Chain A
Amino acid sequence: MATNVAGRRYRTWYAMLLRLYPRPFRERFGEGMAQTFHDLCREHRDARRGLRGLALWIFFETSVGIIRENTTHMPQLVKTMLRVALGALAVLMVPLVASQVVEGWNWDAGGFVFVYVLFFGTGMVYAVIARKMGAWSYKAGVAVALVTGFGLGWSNMVHVADSENPANLVYYSVLAVGGVGAWLARLEARGLARTLFAMAATLALIAVMLPSGAPPYLARNMAIGHGVFVALFTASGLLFRHASLERLK
């Protein structure tokens, strides 16, 4: 008697689970799947075996099928968004875990949401731009440029917040050069190479011209930081240059 009640309950849940399949799939196979589940439950019950293990296994196995069927029929852009969203979530784990162990790191929920949006936005920009060309050097150039741009924007945001010196906002001009350059270049490798070299030059100019007012030990660290960013922007430019030369071959 108890097994009957459990069987009915599992069949109701299974019918609800089947509703998660895409409509065409559900209309074609939904009834057959529900019937198959019903038959399996009946056979298990007749053999006086428990239903819980069977139900758990079939619910899991069907859930995997539901994910597969839904992603198969998704447009490519939605699949890309899903991948980027999951990737951004994985990267978000770094500050999330770090905030638990590093003293003084106390972002509120809004801070994490903001950072997640930044990760997701950067990832989507990479996915959309990198799809334009199959060359590895182009994809690598996009990745290096975005990570470096993200790092520069991030460190500058933190620095401005800490020092409350609005002069540091001038660093955003480097990102503005990148945005305008990418737009003018229509994302072509040759134009992007020039854009990245221009970004490196702008940053080097700012580093030389802007008085930091920092003590000598800090000034040295800042110089190294500027040097790393300039080198990365230059490396990205070289990768785009390589991609543009490959296209000419």
Chain B
Amino acid sequence: MKQVQADSQGRAKMGPGTLYGSMGRMMEAGLIRESDKRVDPEMDDERRIYYELTRAGRAALEAELKRYRGVVAVAEGRLAHGH
């Protein structure tokens, strides 16, 4: 939630309802799974659960990024031609 707020320079604010709802849907779709890796042992809390992208999740993310890049390319092309 903090990361979303920081990445969007405070414009987007996410609460637990949205975060855990999205995680539930992504888990059902097989895009993420629970991970036993510990990112930062200093800050670790045994109750903390980590999640990681699955292969399908990474593929979906790459496909979505490609789509965004395509949309941006079209928009930039239009702007460059003054349409």
| Residues of A participating in the B interface, judged by any CB pair closer than 8 Å | 25, 28-29, 31-33, 35-37, 57-58, 61-66, 68-69
Contacts and interface: CB of A to CB of B under 8 A. Distances in A.
A32 B49 contact: yes
B13 to A, nearest CB: 8
Contacts of A33: 16-17, 20
A68 B24 CA distance: 12
B17 A64 contact: yes
A37 B21 CA distance: 15
A29 B26 CA distance: 13
B20 A32 contact: yes
A41 to B, nearest CB: 12
Nearest to B15: A61
B78 interface: no
Interface of A is mostly: helix
A64 B16 CA distance: 11
Nearest to A24: B24
Looking at B18, B19, B20, B23, which has the most chain A CB atoms within 10 Å of its CB? B20
Contacts of B17: 33, 58, 61-66
Interface size class of B (residues with CB under 8 A): 10 to 19
Contacts of B16: 33, 36-37, 58, 61-62, 65
A29 B23 contact: yes
A35 B21 contact: no
A28 B20 CA distance: 10
Given A33-B20, A64-B18, 14 more contacts: A29-B20, A29-B24, A31-B47, A32-B49, A36-B1, A36-B19, A57-B15, A58-B15, A58-B17, A62-B16, A65-B16, A65-B18, A65-B21, A66-B17
B65 to A, nearest CB: 26
